[in-house]
Amino acid sequence: MSVIEARGLRKAFRTTVALDGLDLRVEEGHILGLIGPNGAGKTTTLNAILGLTPYQGELKVLGCDPWSQREQLMREVCFIADVAVLPRWMRVSQLLAYMVGVHARFDRRKAEGFLAKTSIAPNRKVRELSKGMVVQLHLALVMAIDAKLLVLDEPTLGLDILFRKQFYDSLLNDYFDGSRTIIVTTHQVEEVQHVLTDLMFIHHGRIVLSCSMEEFEARYAEVMVKAEHLAAARALKPIYERQVLGRSILLFDHVARQKLTALGEVRTPSIADLFVAVMGNHAGAAQGAAR
Amino acid sequence: MNTESNLLRESEVDSETAATASLPETQPLYWSVRRELWENRWIYVGQLAIAAVCLFGFLISIARWLARMHGLATTNPAKYWETVALPYNVVAGVMMVTLILMSLFYSADALYSERRDRSILFWKSLPVSDLTTVLAKASIPLVILPVVTIAITLATHLIMLLLSSIVLPANGVSLASWWKGLSIVQMWGLLIYHVLTAHALWPFPAYCWLLLVSGWARRAPLLWAALPVVAIAGLEKLVFHTSYFAAAVGSRFIGAGAPTAFTAGDMFPTDPMTHITPGRFLGAPGLWIGFAVAAVFLTAAVRLRRYRDPV
């Protein structure tokens, strides 16, 4: 069953087009990374999915129309929108009591269990917590909700690396069970690479790349090409070429590994490298044509 | 056999989750009101502080008050009872001014602060509708604040009565006649009636207007709420040389505009001459026109909350 299905999603602000006919399909049990440069339409996409912004086009999330059925949808969807949205005046104990009061799928004991592993005391106010602790708190609340879809928009922004690592670890170990679906956007792509099952690149309000991580590993290969093989390697039409410490690293799409191993050291590229390649090609399409 | 029992267990689990997955309709509203009280503790802390100041004032003026009463008891009985009731009226008046100020500032901030601190994104991540949220916020000036004011005022009066009962006999005033003359129960009845009519029901559309603007303004909601009022009033004055609009708006805020709630023109609730006319109040078109306007403002506020981004 697809959890999210979007067809021809459009959204224009006064001067800019944020979503330009975006198509998207997310299946149950997947962890999707939505990666894109600033202003590509990531947050707008998530806001549309969460019923926070009106849009044109077709969109169904868990069978609901998010804009008109937000309240109903939020029983089965939860999200962390940004690092600092928990009300600063609220006490941790008040937050827990409130969640029990308004959310039928919230399990207070579970949340308390997660919090017990942190140094967050129940009588503390959110404003007294450090940035990292606020994220821990928010994650504890969200993980205690038996939701079908979890949406994370830059959840680890501004956190140090220890908190970031912990965040994704607990998400995988304590939350993800194979039947839930998670969408995450982030700029720290290296850190989510091992977490994701699916990958999407978004640029100028459109999906420019969409594949599973298995596909990603099978499809893309990065070769550190020896100088003498450079011409032969270029003949195989790499999608991107960069220089590191005087050596050429070429990125190939859909080229058999046997052909590549002869040219140099082959490895799976990082998402960040592929991102740069794909975005560079999109941005520099005009430039490339001129060359 | 085995599969059957498995099926059974599954359906059991299903019905269980279905049962826990639905909350009573009113529960989100109840918790939304509670969270307003958590966030805005000054609603009752402020009132308590004002009441404490009033009590302090009563304590230090009690001797002078007694002296004045002594002189009047024989010479001017009518004036005497006025003097007896005076501190109670002053306290009630001060508490009502506090109530008006608090309702004003609460309403102008209610849908603004959640956008300013971005917590609206958290509230919207929960299965609580915009309608529930707006109704919870509207219930503060309509129900919670008036009830809190009444409770604190009555408690303050009670403490003042106790203090008087200790001091009066010691100064040779008959407690029995004093109690009779003060007619505290009637005073309280009038007070409750006055607060509910003149400070809750009658000004409700004005508070709804503030709620609406607080959900729209990017800054200074109180200012944005006042500007159109001033503009319309000014326009009316210039073009028609009248000031009906200003009078209508003013009456909603000051509460003097529940003109149909009492027979006498004087609004002081403890004036023994005033007589309540709830039937006339509830039957007055002004009240219902006000409710209709309030409903329009609240509907607009609900819609606005769906669209509005954090500030």
Question: What pLDDT, on a 0 to 100 scale, did the predictor assign at position B12?
Answer: 41
Distance CA B234, CA B228 (A): 10
Task: Give the model confidence (pLDDT) of B129-178 as tens digits.
Answer: 999 999 999 999 999 999 999 999 999 999 988 888 887 777 666 777 77
Q: Residue B291, Cβ neighbours under 10 Å: how many? A: 14
What's the pLDDT at B74? Answer: 67
Give B129's contacts in chain A (Cβ within 8 Å): 70-71
pLDDT at B268 over 90: no
d(CA B40, CA B27): 20
Q: What is the ipTM of this complex?
A: 0.86
Question: Across residues B247-270, what is the average pLDDT?
Answer: 62
B110, two tokens: 């209610």
Tokens coding A65: 């129309």
Instruction: Answer yes or no: do B126 and A103 touch at CB < 8 A.
Output: yes
Q: Are A102 and B119 inside 8 Å of each other by CB?
A: no
Determine contact: A252 vs chain B, CB below 8 A. no
Q: Which residues of A touch B306 (CB under 8 A)?
A: 70
- Chain B residue closest to A75 (CA)? B127
Nearest to B308 by CA among B226, B212, B225: B212
Instruction: Please choose, from the candidates B307, B19, B277, B304, the residue with its C-alpha nearest in 3D space to the C-alpha of residue B134.
Output: B304
Reading the block at residue B152, the tokens are: 């604190």
User: What separation in angstroms does the CA of A139 have from each of A70, A78, A97, A128?
Assistant: 21, 10, 16, 17
The answer to whether residues A240 and A281 touch, using CB atoms and an 8 Å cutoff, is yes
| pLDDT at site B75 | 72
> Which of B27, B122, B306 lies at the smallest CB-CB distance from A87?
B122
Residue A149's DSSP bridge partners are A77, A181
Report yes or no: A26 and A197 within 8 Å, Cβ to Cβ. Answer: no
Residue A13 main-chain phi, psi, to 5 deg:
-95, 180
Question: Which of chain A's residues have a Cβ under 8 Å away from the Cβ of B27?
Answer: 101-102
Confidence of residue A286 (pLDDT cuts 50, 70, 90): very low
- From A81, A84, A146, residue closest to B125, measured CB to CB: A81
In chain A, what residues touch B134 (CB-CB under 8 Å)?
none
Q: What token pair was written down for B297?
A: 């403002």
Contact B117 A87 (CB under 8 A): yes
Q: Express each pLDDT in A91-114 by its tens digit.
A: 999 999 999 999 999 999 999 999
Burial class of residue B226, CB neighbours in 10 A (0-12, 13-18, 19+): middle
Question: Alpha-carbon distance B222 to B168, whole Å?
Answer: 47
What would the pLDDT profile of A197-211 be if each residue is shown by its tens digit?
999 999 888 899 999
List the one residue out of B102, B311, B78 whose CA is nearest residue B215.
B311
Query: Does residue A1 have a pLDDT over 60?
Result: yes
A85 and chain B: CB distance < 8 Å anywhere?
yes
> What pLDDT band is residue B259 in, cutting at 50, 70 and 90?
low
Q: What is the pLDDT of residues B242-257, one digit of tens each?
A: 888 888 888 787 655 5
For residues A70-79, give the mean pLDDT: 90
Predicted pLDDT at B73:
65
- CA distances (Å), origin A266, targets A112, A164, A211, A263: 47, 29, 21, 8
Q: Which amino acid is at B80?
A: Y
Question: Cβ of A88 and B32 within 8 Å?
Answer: no
* Residues constituting chain B: 311
- B260-265, Cβ contacts within 8 angstroms, sequence gap of 24 or more: B260/B284, B260/B286, B260/B287, B261/B193, B261/B194, B261/B197, B261/B198, B261/B202, B262/B194
Instruction: Give the β-pairing of A77-80 and A149-153.
Output: parallel
Whole-angstrom distance, CA of residue B191 vs CA of residue A279: 71
Reading the block at residue B172, the tokens are 């040779």
Lookup: tokens for B270: 């403890």
pLDDT at residue B13 in the model:
41
Chain A: closest CA distance from residue B146 (Å): 24
For residue B35, the Cα-to-chain-centroid distance in whole angstroms is 18
